[in-house]
Amino acid sequence: MSPHKIRLVRLLLILGVVLVWEFYARVFATSSLSAAPSQVLAELWPKVLGEPRVLNAIGVTLIELVVAFVMSVVFGMLIGVLVGLSDVGRRSFYPIVLLLYGIPQAILLPLFVLMFGLGPAGKIAFGFSHGIFPVIVNTIAGMRNVNPLLMHGAAAMGATRFEQLRYVVFPHMVTAVFTGLRLAMTMTLLGVLLAELFVSQGGIGFFTLLYAETFNPSALIALILTLALMAVALNELVRLVEARFSRWKE
C-alpha cells in the first residue's frame, strides 16, 4: 500500500474511534461521569483554556517539566560519561544505577514532598528522579561498542585522548543518547504529573482533581487532552533535534 493510503486508513481509524465514543457518550453514558468528544471540544475553549488560572497552571507545569528535563539531561550525561569512561567505573557503578532504576519511584513520592515541599521544587525533584536514569543508562550504553578500528585509526592519526572522545566516542553515542532523551522526556512528564496529582496548590494537578471531584468530565478530558498534546509536541521536538544530528545515517 502506498504511504498515502496508509495515512488515510489511519485517519479513518481515529475518526471511527471518535465516532463510537461520541455515540456511546450521548446514548448510554451518565453525563456527570463521561463526556462526548463534541462536548469536550466545546468545553476546551473558552471554559478551560480561557480560564487564566488553568493557563497559569499549565505554564507552571511546563516550567517544572523543562527544568526537571534539563537537569536530567545535564546531570545524566555528565554522570554517564564520567562512569562510562573507565571499565572500573562502569562495572562498579552501573549495577547501582540499574538497581535504583528498578525501584518503583511512586513509593518515594511522600518522601519527596516531605523533603522538597508542596511547591514546584517537589515536582521538579520528582520529575528529575524519573528523568535522570534513562539518560545515565543510555549514555553509558552509548559509550560502549565503539568500533575499535575507528579508535585505532584515530590514535594512529595522532588524536589525543580528548580528541578521540570528541570526534569518535561522542558522535557514536548520539543515537543511544537520544533514545535516552526521548525516554527521559516521557518519564520526566510522568514524574511531574504524578507529583502534581499527589499534592497541588493550584497547579495542573489541582484542576484535574477539582474537575474530577465536581463531576465535570468534559473539562477533565479537555485538560487531559491538552496535557497529552503537550507531551506529544515535546517528544516531537526531541525527535526533530535528533534528526538534525543523524543526517549521516541516511
Q: What is the rounded distance in angstroms from the CA atom of residue 219 to the CA atom of residue 46?
A: 11
- In the complex, the smallest distance separating the C-beta of residue 159 from another protein, rounded to whole angstroms, is 4
Check residue 247 for interaction with another protein (CB under 8 A): yes
Check residue 33 for interaction with another protein (CB under 8 A): no
- In the complex, the smallest distance separating the C-beta of residue 249 from another protein, rounded to whole angstroms, is 7
Q: What is the rounded distance in angstroms from the CA atom of residue 123 to the CA atom of residue 194?
A: 8
Task: Tell me whether residue 28 or residue 248 sits nearer to another protein (CB atom).
Answer: 248
Interacting span for another protein (CB under 8 A) from 86-94, 107-115, 153-161, 191-199: 153-161
Candidates 27, 149, 233, 240; binder of another protein (CB under 8 A) is 149
**Are 163 and 108 spatial neighbours (Cβ–Cβ below 8 Å)?**
no
Task: Tell me whether residue 33 or residue 156 sits nearer to another protein (CB atom).
Answer: 156
**Are 217 and 34 spatial neighbours (Cβ–Cβ below 8 Å)?**
yes
Check residue 156 for interaction with another protein (CB under 8 A): yes
Q: Which residue, chain included where needed, has cell 518503583?
A: 104
Q: What is the rounded distance in angstroms from the CA atom of residue 61 to the CA atom of residue 124?
A: 9
- Closest C-alpha to 142, from 115, 114, 171: 171
Q: Which residues bind another protein (CB under 8 A)?
A: 149-150, 152-159, 163, 167-168, 171-172, 174, 247-250
